[in-house]
Chains A and B, each alone.
Chain A
């Protein structure tokens, strides 16, 4: 575990030694603000909730999370430092876990900095703070699922842009599978069982429950298994490269 922590510290340090991290945080906060208050009609809704805030997260993360995670392995492969990393006495899973955790912590920080939104609803009305907490848990897990997918696509290539695009495509599928306009389209030719199965693979379906304030074990299992699977696939891909 100490090894993982050393690696996490290095990765996190990597974000903050350049201005990129601060620029990113500012952009993230501006975008969440814009989506919540302008595009989300926060004030016109007339309800004390953060539905306008959380509702946009599956779409916002689609761009934000791949941008944070794309460099994780691609950069390591491009610069050749991967050779250094994997000749140190560490296991592959430790490196994979550490890189994932470091970026996830960074996203957690970005999410935590949205706290003024919570203060705002509490000043304006009496929201269900339990539901807001559940929303944050869901949002954090959602970011984790996207990030794990980005880890996987980043391991596939030494080009960060390719990693970004691949990741957006995969994550878009995870969103659209449960997006109402898409499921409505499928109604014409697919049986309800098929639609439900496909929708069950969508992050939106599972994220909705969190927004309503429900932390269901099934949804937790879904997000954690997406993360687990993607990180496992990352390991397989990395091993494949080294085997030549």
Chain B
């Protein structure tokens, strides 16, 4: 549904987005990760047709966003950064305004407004003006606006920013559910969201894509992935180091596999060693790898890398 080829955006001498390409199909939820100022928002603004790209191509549902902006925009629902909405309008007024501009009238409009109000739990604030709403409600109002025409493509810039943990949870569930039938792109810098909602994630840094894969694949890039952490009475660093590199933690040992493809066998080898020496096991875990370690390693400036 969304296809981006070699997208470049320059602001003066700064290349905010530098040759980004990716595609998102229906049924996919793409998480867009990156440090602040990496080019996430700029990319989304180009996808939604707010900014024209300096070079490269964006097409949504087969329509080029620059050449046929109206047709492309019809397919997109967009939640901008900070959930901008007209503060002087009531929630109801704002949603019918959005519905009318999406070409909905009469009964269809009423139904569309009722549907998103239910979906985003806005019933209690329907007649309140937007500037009197709490941040969570304002956010959901703007999200409701993005969903009003049941779009095939949903683009969200930090949809959970500023929400409380319960609201974050609700929004993530909503994204996952909507993702079954739509193509969704959302940006975030909260890594747990990738696990909670995405089928695929892209990490972008200084305008370039530095990683692209499923959450499990990204986690596999972690040094930690496949390591075994053992907490046992009697265990010693010398004995364990026959299996691979060993790191001594507070009262425990972490054994890294010599070869990542063999990580499945490592756990078995550790158990055999434990049995052989008769150590008393208090705890043992196989590490899946940590996303934030991967994130930090690939997005820190070169000079800061260890």
**Taking A10-B97, A84-B80 as contacts, is the C-beta distance between A89 and B102 under 8 angstroms?**
yes
With A79-B87, A83-B45, A243-B52 given, name 4 new contacts (CB 8 A).
Answer: A14-B89, A80-B84, A87-B73, A242-B51
Interface string of A4-31 (1 = CB under 8 A from B): 0011001001100110000000000000
30 of the cross-chain contacts (CB-CB < 8 Å) are: A3-B101, A6-B100, A13-B88, A14-B86, A17-B89, A17-B129, A79-B84, A79-B87, A80-B82, A81-B84, A81-B85, A81-B86, A83-B80, A83-B84, A84-B145, A86-B49, A87-B48, A87-B49, A87-B76, A87-B78, A88-B101, A89-B70, A89-B73, A90-B70, A90-B101, A91-B70, A242-B51, A243-B51, A244-B9, A244-B11
Interface size on B, residues (CB 8 A): 34
Tell me whether A84 and B78 are in contact (CB under 8 A): yes
Nearest CB in chain B: distance from A90 CB, A:
6
- Asked whether B50 lies within 8 Å of A242 as measured between CB atoms, the reply is yes
On B, residues with C-beta under 8 Å from A are: 9-11, 45, 48-52, 70-71, 73-74, 76, 78, 80-82, 84-89, 93, 97-98, 100-103, 129, 142, 145
Number of A interface residues in the complex (CB < 8 A):
23
Question: For residue B52, which residues in chain A have a CB less than 8 angstroms away from its CB?
Answer: 242-243
A89 to B148, CA, bound (A): 13
Minimum CB–CB distance for B185 against chain A, Å: 13
User: A83 with B101: in contact, given A10-B89, A89-B70 (CB under 8 Å)?
Assistant: no
Residues on A with beta carbons closer than 8 Å to the beta carbon of B85: 81, 84
Q: Which residue of B9, B74, B145 contacts A89 across the interface (Cβ within 8 Å)? A: B74
Give A117-160 as 1s and 0s: 1 = Cβ < 8 Å from B's Cβ atoms: 00000000000000000000000000000000000000000000
Shortest Cβ gap from B122 to chain A (Å): 17
| Secondary structure dominating the interface of B | mixed
Given contact pairs A17-B129, A88-B98, A242-B51, A10 touches B74 in the complex (Cβ within 8 A)? no
Q: What residue of chain B has the Cβ atom nearest to residue A88's Cβ?
A: B101
Cα separation A13 to B74 with both chains bound (whole Å): 25
How far does the Cβ of B156 sit from chain A's closest Cβ, in whole Å?
A: 12
Bits for A74-114, please: 1 = Cβ < 8 Å to B, else 0.
Answer: 00000111011011111100000000000000000000000
Which of B10, B11, B87, B129 has the most A CB atoms < 10 Å from its CB?
B87
Closest residue to B11 on the A side, CB-wise?
A244
For A81, the chain B residues whose CB sits under 8 A away are 84-86
Chain B residues lying within 8 Å of A244, measured Cβ to Cβ, are 9-11, 51
Whether B97 contacts A86 by the Cβ 8 Å rule is no
- Chain A residues near B142 (CB-CB < 8 A): 84
Q: Which of A81, A83, A86, A90 has the most CB of B within 10 A?
A: A83
Interface pair A10/B86, CB less than 8 Å apart: yes
* Cα separation A192 to B185 with both chains bound (whole Å): 65
Which A-chain residue is minimally distant from B86 (CB atoms)? A81
Query: Closest B-chain residue to A79, C-beta based?
Result: B84
Q: A6-B97, A83-B80 are in contact. Are A18 and B88 (CB under 8 A)?
A: yes
Please indicate the chain B residues that have their CB under 8 angstroms from the CB of A243 in the complex.
Answer: 51-52
Contacts of B76 in A (CB 8 A): 87
Taking the closest CB of chain A, its distance from the CB of B44, in whole angstroms, is 10
CA distance A86 to B51 in the complex (A): 9
Question: Would A6 and B101 count as touching, CB distance under 8 A?
Answer: yes
The smallest beta-carbon distance between B162 and chain A, in angstroms, is 14
**Cβ distance B5 to chain A, nearest Cβ, rounded Å:** 19
Cβ-defined partner of B93 (8 Å) among A13, A86, A88: A13
Q: Is the CB of A88 within 8 A of B11?
A: no
Taken together as a complex, chains A and B put the C-alpha atoms of A200 and B57 apart, in Å, by 47
Cβ contacts under 8 Å, B11 to chain A = 244
Name the residue of chain A whose CB is nearest to the CB of B74. A89
Q: With CB as the reference atom, state the residue of chain B lying closest to A5.
A: B100
Measured CB to CB, the nearest residue on chain B to A15 is B88
Of residues 214 through 244 on chain A, the ones whose CB sits less than 8 Å from some CB of chain B are 242-244
Q: Whole-angstrom distance between the alpha carbons of A11 and B162 in the complex?
A: 29
A87 near B50 with CB under 8 A, answer yes
Q: Provide the A53-74 mask, 1 if CB < 8 A to any CB of B, else 0.
A: 0000000000000000000000
Q: Is the CB of B50 within 8 A of A83?
A: yes
Give Cα distance in the complex from A80 to B142, angstroms. Answer: 12
Of A2, A79, A86, the residue contacting B50 (CB under 8 A) is A86
Q: Are B81 and A80 in contact (CB under 8 A)?
A: yes
A124 and B235 alpha carbons, distance in the complex (Å):
111
Measured CA separation A83–B82 after assembly (Å): 11
Contacts of B87 in A (CB 8 A): 79
Closest residue on chain B to residue A243 by CB atoms: B52
* Distance (whole angstroms) from the CB of A79 to the closest CB of chain B: 6
**B-side contacts of A80, CB under 8 Å:** 80-82, 84
Expressed in whole angstroms, the minimum distance between the Cβ of B18 and any Cβ of chain A is 14
